Structure 1
C-alpha cells in the first residue's frame, strides 16, 4: 500500500528537517499539534472558498510533513503510547477537515444534484474514514489485530488530494465525484476486512 512506501520516502526527504527541529529543542508533540492546526485551517479556508489548486498543494505538503513528529520522536528516543495516541487523534481532525472542506465546496460551487451528491459522498468518506482507524484501535484494545485493508489513511488522502488538484486545474467535477465514490467503496470494504479479521480471531480464541 502507499502508506509504507510513502513513510520510507518521507524518512529520506525530511530526516534533515527532523534533526534540525530536535536541535532547536522543539518537541514532537508541538509539531503534531501545529501540523494539525495548519491542516485544519488550510482545509477549511482554501477548499470551501474554491481555491482547490492552492488547497491541494498546501494540504499535500502538510500531509507529507506529518511524518516529521514520528521521526523526531525516534531521534530523541521519546516514542511513547502518548505520542501515538496524540498523533492518531490529531489525524482524525485533519482528515475530517479535508473531507468537510470538499463537501462544503461542493455545496457552494457545484450546481444542482451534482453538488448534493458530491457533498454526500464527501460526508460518507469522512464517516467511513473514521471507522477504519477505530476498528484497528478497538481491535488492539482487545488484544487482536485489524491492520491493512484496501484503503488506509495515506491511500485515502492521496486519492482525494489528487482529485481535488485535477479539478483545481480545470478538469470536470465528475473526476472528484468518481474519486469519492471509489474512496467510499474502498473504505467500506476496508471496514469489512477489519471486522472480518477480528471476527476470525475472536472465534479462534473461543475455540482454543
Structure 2
C-alpha cells in the first residue's frame, strides 16, 4: 500500500491511479458535504435557514444562490472553528492559501490535474476563512486586505498559467488566455470602481464561482480520461476543458457587465430616450438585416433582369442598402428629428470607416490559416458592430441636439 502511495506521488499516471487520485478526495469530500446537506435540511426544517451575515452582505449570483451559500458556510463551520481555536493569524491563512494555489498551478502544468484541482479548491476554502477570522478577532486592516487580494490574483493566475503550459500546443490555450483576461478584469473593474467611489459587485462569475467551477472540473477530469481515454499519454481532460471554457465566457461577461455599470454610474446624465438600450439594439440589428436582404435582392435583380455587371450592381446595392438602413434607423430605431443632410454625412462617415475596420479585421484573421475565414468574418463584424457602429449611430449619427429632443412629444 505504501509503495502504491509513493508511486502516485512520484507520478504514476496509470488509469487506475488517475481514477483513485481523483476519486479518493472526492469520496471523502462528497460524503462530508452530502451528510452535511442532510443535517442542514433537517436544521432548516426545524429552525429555518441559518442566516450568515457576511453572505447576506455579499449577496448571491445566478450560478450559486443564497441557499447554497448559507449551506456552504454552515457546513464548513467545524473546520472554521478548528482553525479559529488554533490561534493561527489570518495573514498566515492567506499565505497558506497562496502557497496551495501556486502549487496547484505547478501540479496542473505537470499533468497532475487531480492534485492541482484539489489544491486549488483547498486554497479557495482557506481564502474564504481568512477574512472572516480577521474580522471576528477584530484584526482586519488595510494591509491584510491588500495581502489577501494580491494573493488571490496569484492563485488564479497560477492555476491558469499551469493550464496554459499543459495546453501550450493545443487549441485549449485560447480559452485559457480568455479566462486569464476575464479573471483579471473582474476584480480590476471592481477595484477601479471603488477607487472612483463606486461600489461594483455584480455579475454571475465572481471568485467563489470561478474557484468552484474550475476547481471541480480540474479535480475530477482524470476520472473521465481514465475511463474513456486510458491509453492517452497527454489526455485532454475534457471535464476541465468544459469548466475552463465556461469560466472564460462567464468571467468576461461579468467583467463587461461590471464595466458597463461603472461607466453608466460615472457618465453624465443624457437626455431621456424613447427607447431602452435593448430595444435600440433589437431595432438596429433588424434594420441591418433588412437592409442586407434588400441589398442582396437588388443585386440579383440588377444582374439577372437589367443585365448590369456584378461590380456595378454590388456598388448600387450597397448604396440602396445604406439608404434603407439609414431610413429605418432614423424613423423607427431612434425616432430622430434632426436635419437629414448632416445626419447622412455622419452616417456615410461611420459606414465608410466601418467597412475599413471590417476589412482590416478579416485581413488580420486570415493571418491565422487554422481559423476559418467565415468565423473571422463574423468575429470582425461582431466586434466592429458593438464597438463602433452601434455606439456611433446612437451617440453621433442620430444624436439629436437638445432643441430637437424638446420638440418630441412624450419624450421619456
Q: Please classify the TM superposition score into its range, dividing by the shorter chain length.
A: 0.7 to 0.9
Task: Give the corresponding residue for 2:194.
Answer: 140
Task: Give the corresponding residue for 1:94.
Answer: 155
Task: Work out whether residues 200 and 261 of structure 2, in 8 Å CA contact, stay in contact via their aligned partners in 1.
Answer: yes
Task: Give the corresponding residue for 2:111.
Answer: 50
Cα deviation 1:55-104 (Å, max 9, x = unaligned): 22232223122222122112201222322222111100000011111121
Determine if the alignment matches structure 1 residue 184 to structure 2 residue 245.
Answer: no
| SS in structure 2 of the partner of residue 66 of structure 1 | helix
List gaps (5 residues or longer) in structure 2. Answer: 1-60, 226-235, 272-412
Q: How far has the Cα of 1:54 moved from its partner?
A: 2.3
Superposed CA RMSD: 2.5
Is 154-163 or 12-21 further displaced after alignment? 12-21
1:74/1:205 CA distance change after superposition, 3 Å: farther
CA distance in 2, matches of 1:17, 1:24: 11
Task: Work out whether residues 125 and 184 of structure 1, in 8 Å CA contact, stay in contact via their aligned partners in 2.
Answer: yes
Determine if the alignment matches structure 1 residue 103 to structure 2 residue 164.
Answer: yes
Determine if the alignment matches structure 1 residue 152 to structure 2 residue 206.
Answer: yes
Q: How far has the Cα of 1:177 moved from its partner?
A: 3.0
TM-score normalised according to structure 1 size: 0.82
Q: How far has the Cα of 1:139 moved from its partner?
A: 0.2
CA distance in 2, matches of 1:21, 1:175: 32
1:14/1:75 CA distance change after superposition, 3 Å: farther
Cα deviation 1:6-44 (Å, max 9, x = unaligned): 654453344444444444432111211122112212321
1:205/1:93 CA distance change after superposition, 3 Å: farther
Q: How far has the Cα of 1:157 moved from its partner?
A: 1.9
1:66/1:140 CA distance change after superposition, 3 Å: same
Task: Give the corresponding residue for 1:27.
Answer: 89
CA distance in 2, matches of 1:117, 1:125: 14
Task: Give the corresponding residue for 1:69.
Answer: 130
Q: How far has the Cα of 1:49 moved from its partner?
A: 1.5
1:167/1:15 CA distance change after superposition, 3 Å: closer
Q: How far has the Cα of 1:147 moved from its partner?
A: 1.1
Which has the greater radius of gyration? 2
List gaps (5 residues or longer) in structure 1. Answer: 108-114
Structure 2 residue corresponding to 1:197, chosen from 253, 257, 261:
261
Q: How many residues matched? A: 199
Quick check: which one's helix share is greater?
A: 1
